[in-house]
Structure 1
Amino acid sequence: PASVPAMAAHCRTALQALGVAPPYRVLAMSLGAMVALAWAHAQPRELAAAVLINTSLRPFGAFHQRLRPSQYATLLRLALSDADAAEWERSILAMTSRRCFEEAEHDALLGAWTAWRRECPVSRANALRQLLAAARFRAPPLRPPVPLLVLASARDALVDPHCSRRLAQAWALPIAEHPTAGHDLPLDDGPWVAQQVERFVCTSKAL
């Protein structure tokens, strides 16, 4: 879909087709977190809770904060060139992770990501639609009546963590910020994410 609300509607339809009934508990990152917010706004009774990781949406961040200018050239090159699956995933990993991998672990990760991309390729048009949908999306005027947790990465090279901080401040949401992780926070420190989610679930109505 070419818009974030349409993406949320697509998720709802897919879950219904699978026979998975609400309420849902959603862990969502970046553009996915925008989709979770659109879903929480449109159908708040369907979501028991949502964790929003390294998201960036208007009006809680300027354009250059929502997508750092240092990454424009790389994203445009990938979207407009004929880069193969391995080059796509190598570039994405460099943009989104701050983790120091062992060589074997790094190669295994890229191998898995590349295999997934070849199995389910992302078209150039779809990649551009995602960028356009993210750029257009604006937060709901009021905080959705769903328990929300914000997680951010202090060393995010793709999105300025200021966007997450402003969102949490504006809506009085709990927030935790990882001091060294990059944009792909679950990849860089999955156990830390799990700890934050567990604490959130135990201290909110997310159970």
Structure 2
Amino acid sequence: MSTWVLLRGLMRETRHWGEFPMLFQNVTGAQNVVTLDFPGNGRLHAQASPGSVGEMADHCRMQLAKLGYAPPYHVLALSLGAMAAVEWSARHPDEIDRLVLINTSLAPHNPFYQRLRPANYPALLRFLISGSEFQREELILHLTSTLERSELQRAKLLEQWTSYACECPVTRANILRQLQAAISYRAAQTKPPVPLLLLAAQQDRLVSVKCSQTLARLWDCPIRLHPVAGHDLPLDDGFWVAQQAKEWLESEHQTAGK
């Protein structure tokens, strides 16, 4: 039985997946699709965020055990979530069957100016120091999505995200802890010891697509590029993400059967 675990990034929670988990399950035929929050986000917003990516990975393992899902797992992870997935696979390769990593970046393989585009520094600093929940969510939408929406669609999405932020507020202290964990994380020099697929958006405003391209070259693994989507690929084109995962799984099974 295949259990897919979905992990999101900085300041995001399970509700930010929207309809993607159901879509992913329908396209891939996965038996179980489990979405998890990192401490400090979503249902766990009252907890202190872990100070390291390794602690985030350990917390995922603990949550899954409590929920009754046994390894091995398939993991689809975005951005900071992908860092946790990489560390998880390095520490416990027997627990991870497959990895799909979306728009991630990793030190020491990617330089800092590609991991977070410098043009975003001023706006990010302003929103950390001040700004309402709505202003934060408005900035996040701008940085992570390139999908064209009507004014009504955009307003509805921001209203929804702002309600999440008010119901389960991510404190500035936890934002800083998550940022620090991401900045300080250093992945192993070697390729993750499990089969993996990289997905990246060529129009990502937050993280350069060169990060994923570099990892694909270093790890000699498949990569699929979306020509117009932004950093939050599952938001901008969830069907494409699910379809890429499905086709990759099918190719992996065909190769294993030879």
What band does the TM-score fall into relative to the shorter chain?
over 0.9
The residue aligned with 1:102 is: 150
- Once the two structures are TM-superposed, the CA of residue 205 in structure 1 deviates from its matched residue by 5.0
Match of 2:9 in 1: none
Structure 2 equivalent of residue 118 of structure 1: 166
1:50-89 per-residue CA deviation (whole Å, 9 max, x = no partner) reads: 11000011122111110000111121112222x2221111
Whole-Å separation in 2 of the counterparts to 1:78 and 1:24: 36
Runs of 4+ that moved beyond 4 A: none
Write the distance in 2 (CA, Å) between the matches of 1:123 and 1:13: 23
CA contact (8 A) 1:147 1:205 kept: no
Instruction: Specify whether residues 198 and 76 from structure 1 end up closer, same or farther in structure 2 by C-alpha distance, changes over 3 A only.
Output: same
Q: 2:112 aligns with which of 57, 60, 63?
A: 63
- Which residue does 2:10 correspond to in 1? none
Task: Name the structure 2 match of 1:147.
Answer: 195
Provide the C-alpha distance between the structure 2 equivalents of 1:125 and 1:34, rounded to a whole number of angstroms: 20
Q: Is the partner of 1:2 in helix, strand or coil?
A: coil
- Partner of residue 51, structure 1: 100
TM-score, reference length from structure 1: 0.95
Is 2:222 aligned against 1:174?
yes
Root mean square deviation of aligned Cα:
1.5
Give the SS at the match of 2:99: strand
Extract unaligned runs of 5+ from structure 1: none
Q: CA deviation at 1:117?
A: 1.4
Match of 1:9 among 50, 53, 58: 58
Would you say the 8 A contact 1:30–1:56 is kept in 2? Answer: yes
Say if 1:54 and 1:152, in contact at 8 Å, map to a contact too: yes
* Larger mean Cα displacement after TM superposition, 84-93 or 31-40: 84-93
Report the CA distance shift for 1:205/1:136 in structure 2 as closer, same or farther (over 3 A): farther
SS of aligned partner of 1:152: strand
Higher relative contact order (CA 8 A, sep 6+): 1
Q: Quick one: which amino acid aligns to residue 174 of structure 2?
A: N
**Is 1:38–2:105 an aligned residue pair?**
no
Partner of residue 198, structure 1: 246
TM-score of the superposed pair, with normalisation by structure 2: 0.77
Could you tell me which of 157, 168, 176 is aligned with 2:205? 157
Counterpart CA distance in 2 for 1:42 and 1:80 is 36
> 1:50 touches 1:148 (CA, 8 Å); kept in 2?
yes
How many residue pairs get aligned? The number is 206
Q: Percent identity?
A: 51
Distance verdict in 2 for CA 1:6–1:122, change over 3 Å = same
Counterpart residue type for residue 174 of structure 1: P
Deviations 1:65-114 (A, max 9, x none): 10000111121112222x22211111100111111012222112111111
